[in-house]
A = this chain, B = another copy of it.
Amino acid sequence: MAPTDRFVAENTFHIRYVETDAMGIVHHTSYIIYFEEGRSNYARQRGSNYAQFEQEGHYLAVSEVDARYIKAAQYGQQLTIRCWIEEMKSRGLTFGYEILSTATSEVLVTGYTKHICITHEGQVAKLPDEWRKWAGT
C-alpha cells in the first residue's frame, strides 16, 4: 500500500513490553506512537530534524489521526514502519503509514495523520521551504 512514486522512510524496531496489554498483544494506542516515531524518522532520513523545526519557531500540530487495525502483534516481534507524505499543502501536510511484521512482511496497521503548521503563539503558518520541497520528490 505504501506508494511507489515518492520517498518512503522505513525503520525497524523491537516491540517494548510496556506497549502490550492484558489481551497479550500490542495496545492499539502504541501504533499511534509508532506513527509519530515514523514521521520523526522520515524527517531524519530527509536530512531534516523536527527538533530544529521547533527551535525555529514552528510546531506541527496534529489535527486528525486515523488508524486501521488488521492483525495483532506480540512482544518478541520486530515491526517495520513505513512513512510517506500523502499530501502536501502550504500550511499543512498529511503523512501516510503502514506497519508490518518485519519477519513476514504482513501489514498489521495502516493509517494517516493530518498536521497544521503553527507558530509557538498558535498562529497558522506556512511550512518551511525545506519541508515543502519533500512533496516533489
Interface residues of A (CB under 8 A from B): 14, 16-18, 20-25, 27-29, 32-33, 36-37, 40-41, 44, 49-52, 54, 59, 61-69, 72, 74-76
- Inter-chain contacts of A52 with B (CB < 8 A): 76
- Inter-chain contacts of A14 with B (CB < 8 A): 37, 40-41, 44
CA distance A67 to B74 in the complex (A): 25
- Inter-chain contacts of A18 with B (CB < 8 A): 21, 27, 29, 33, 36
Say whether A16 contacts B32, CB under 8 Å: no
- Inter-chain contacts of A54 with B (CB < 8 A): 22, 75
16 contacts between A and B (CB under 8 A): A14-B40, A16-B37, A17-B22, A17-B36, A17-B37, A17-B50, A18-B21, A20-B21, A22-B22, A22-B25, A22-B74, A28-B62, A29-B33, A32-B32, A32-B65, A66-B67
- Inter-chain contacts of A17 with B (CB < 8 A): 21-22, 27, 36-37, 40, 50
- Inter-chain contacts of A72 with B (CB < 8 A): 61
- Inter-chain contacts of A40 with B (CB < 8 A): 14, 16-17
Say whether A67 contacts B65, CB under 8 Å: yes
Say whether A51 contacts B67, CB under 8 Å: no
Scoring A29, A37, A51, A64 by chain B CB atoms within 10 A of each residue's CB, the highest score goes to: A29
